[in-house]
Amino acid sequence: MRPLRLLATLTALSLAASATAQDADWEVIDRGSTVAAAVSFDSGIAVVVRCDDESLETYIVGLATVPDKDDPDRRTIQYAFGDRPLRASTWQVSENGQTLFADLPAPLARRFRQGGDLQLQLAGEESAPPRRYIVSLPPSRAAIDQVLSACGRPAIDPRDELRRSESSATLSQALPQGPSWARLPRPIYPNRALRDGLSGMAVLSCLTLDDGGLEDCRIEVERPAGKGFGPAAVRAAENAQLRSDEPYQHVLDSGLVNFTVRFSLH
């Protein structure tokens, strides 16, 4: 394991199609407004949980990804812990294509606390087989808890049990195209972002009601942070309603839904 000294060193690295590591450990980096827990591997992969100015990020560096022609800023990853079945998840991708930012950073960070083998599968180029990786994460509750605490996130959240349910639902489609809405969230563009000419997005998690309404919506991630996208999305979600008829009833039965609201000036 190569020690990780600066967050700036977490740049793109060339990898083989499979990666494992031994004797790795988490390192805490505390620079006041930025607190991070990071673990790096000789394969070139690094896993990071970072709180920067109260904005939480969980990301993986060093994965060779294939650009998506339809959405160059996003990648779909299949991942699982231990020998559990792979599950699809959408991640934000950096400009160089080798740093992937989780849409649900806090739940993922809390799972990282437990350690264990993390399986990752990414699409290969054209007809090439998928790229598969396995990284052995060391358990490190203290390091990750320090980062979560710096961002005001709990080390234990009951919502994580709902997310692990087989019936948990994710509406990853870019609104307003999500097919499961009876009444769409219609956010008002935040003034700060409008003034600065910025597009952005927010990922929310909300508890579901029997009639399809949403309550206790939380901002899981906001990009860019501090421009009002998250609060605007929450206000819009309060007046939205999910479809409650079949085959969408399972969304309400899960008790929790995660979805993305996008803001664009173009």
Decide: 145 and 157 in contact? Cβ < 8 Å: no
Q: What's the confidence (pLDDT) of residue 167?
A: 47
Q: Is 222 helix (H, G, I), strand (E, B) or coil?
A: strand
Distance CA 23, CA 135 (A): 11
Q: What's the confidence (pLDDT) of residue 18?
A: 32
Q: What's the confidence (pLDDT) of residue 28?
A: 94
As a whole number of Å, the end-to-end CA separation of the chain is 44
- Considering only the C-alpha atoms of the chain, give the largest distance between any 2 of them, rounded to a whole number of Å: 53
Q: Tell me the pLDDT tens digit for each residue of 206-221.
A: 999 989 999 999 999 9
Q: What's the confidence (pLDDT) of residue 123?
A: 82
- Spatial neighbors of 50 by CB under 8 A, at least 6 apart, are 7, 34, 35, 36, 37, 38, 56, 57, 58, 59, 147
Place of tokens 């005001």: 152
Q: What's the confidence (pLDDT) of residue 246?
A: 78
The pTM assigned to this predicted structure is: 0.81
Q: What's the confidence (pLDDT) of residue 116?
A: 95
The C-alpha angle with vertex 140 and arms to 135 and 144, in degrees rounded to 5, equals: 100
Q: What's the confidence (pLDDT) of residue 70?
A: 72
What stretches in the chain show pLDDT beneath 50? Answer: 1-23, 166-167, 172-179
Distance CA 45, CA 41 (A): 5
CA neighbours within 13 Å on the CB side: how many for 13? 17
